[in-house]
Amino acid sequence: MAFVNEVVSDADIDAYGLPFEKGKGHWWTRDKERDLYLWGGRGGNPLWDQEIRGKFYFFVSDVTIRLVISLGKWSDDWHARPYIVEWGQVISVDPPRCDEFSQEQIINLFKEALVAYGRDGRENRNTPDRIVRFGF
């Protein structure tokens, strides 16, 4: 099974200790077969001198890894076909590795999850025809 975007069940909120309120329809990008998941997204506020970055939590091998990545060039128009999502550079990975996977393997799995995540980690209804690129 590959990564898919889906609403997190209340049972999964309990099982993984996720910081989501039950029944509120939070989304994640999950590969159930390999027990991997990703949640988060773009965050930051330029009005407060904060750069907008990708801020994600990636669960791999019973370890939750926090990744921060810069944004590259994204399509300006939701109607662009294909819609371009470009992630710039990895800014931080914490922790940098886990027992079973090297940082390189974690980054490769993370990229795989981001391809499914697409623009927003939801249904991607507005950007079904998209290309996800990486500067890392």
Closest CA to 89 of 118, 69, 106: 69
98: confidence class by pLDDT, cuts 50, 70, 90: confident
Q: What percent of the chain has pLDDT over 70?
A: 99
Average pLDDT of the segment spanning 106-115:
97
Number of compact structural domains in the chain: 1
Locate 124 and state its tokens: 């991607």
Q: Range of 110's domain?
A: 4-134
Using DSSP, state whether 62 is helix, strand or coil. coil
Q: pLDDT value at position 9?
A: 97
pLDDT digits (tens, 9 = 90+) for 48-91: 888 999 999 999 999 999 999 999 999 999 899 999 999 999 99
Instruction: Indicate yes or no: pTM above 0.85.
Output: yes
Q: State yes or no: pLDDT of 1 exceeds 70.
A: no
Cβ within 8 Å of residue 60, ≥6 positions away: 36, 98, 100, 101, 106, 109
Torsion of CA 15, 21, 26, 28, to 10 degrees: -30
How far apart CA 4 and CA 30 sit, in angstroms, is 5
